[in-house]
Chains A and B, each alone.
Chain A
Amino acid sequence: GAGVSQSPSNKVTEKGKDVELRCDPISGHTALYWYRQSLGQGLEFLIYFQGNSAPDKSGLPSDRFSAERTGGSVSTLTIQRTQQEDSAVYLCASSGPSGNTIYFGEGSWLTVV
């Protein structure tokens, strides 16, 4: 596609349910990032994938959060047993191997009620 595509755009879920957020990066981009943006806050790094290398999971806030990237392309961020504090916009980004320019999707707005 022309840009980074994320789905769903908006998701309302009940506390305790699991959610999956999807990211389709720009074709040919080897690097993929997930960030979280809470209301009125900056962007918090969650996880980074680069090609076939082991992902950098250092930003995941708890073991309820996980992400995978299948075939070096599409990525899924999974949040298990959602809590109200998980409510945020989850932004995905991708870049080429050099990482010089990072392009963002429009985000998935998650609300946990």
Chain B
Amino acid sequence: AQTVTQSQPEMSVQEAETVTLSCTYDTSESDYYLFWYKQPPSRQMILVIRQEAYKQQNATENRFSVNFQKAAKSFSLKISDSQLGDAAMYFCAYRSARGGSNYKLTFGKGTLLTVNP
């Protein structure tokens, strides 16, 4: 079974600074997807960024980028120019690329990010 580990229960960053959230995962598969989701106090899970394992290039979405190290099974999220609205719980998630019930997401336990003004 796949597992996802987020080793940082809490992180804080100063507004306008850069922060990196860590995520490692364990799988025997070679083809899969990795995700970062943001959950603000409203509870809505919002997709931040997605990475396909077959792609060597790291995904980027505006101020959000990832460092995907397939051999090390590491998938960290970098938030540049942090804003107050970035404060939330961040979840790393894994999903197999195989079909059927393997489509379910496996989540880490989350990292609570605080942004200080």
Pairs of residues from A and B, 5 with the lowest C-beta to C-beta distance, nearest first: A56-B101, A104-B45, A42-B109, A99-B103, A43-B107
Q: Which residues of A contact B43 (CB under 8 A)?
A: 89, 91, 106-107, 109
Q: Which residues of B contact A31 (CB under 8 A)?
A: 103
Digitize A94-113: 1 where CB-to-B-CB distance is under 8 Å, 0 elsewhere: 01000111111111010000
Q: Judge if B62 is at the interface, Cβ distance under 8 Å.
A: no
Q: Is the CB of A48 within 8 A of B45?
A: no
Q: Which residues of A contact B108 (CB under 8 A)?
A: 42
Q: Roughly how many angstroms separate A99 CA and B109 CA in the complex, as a whole number?
A: 22
Please report B residues at the A interface, Cβ cutoff 8 Å. 33, 35, 37, 42-47, 50, 91, 95, 100-101, 103-110
Q: Report, as a range, how many residues of chain A touch the other chain.
A: 20 to 34
Known: A42-B107, A42-B109, A45-B106. A102 touches B101 (CB 8 A): no
Q: Judge if A58 is at the interface, Cβ distance under 8 Å.
A: yes
Q: Judge if A75 is at the interface, Cβ distance under 8 Å.
A: no
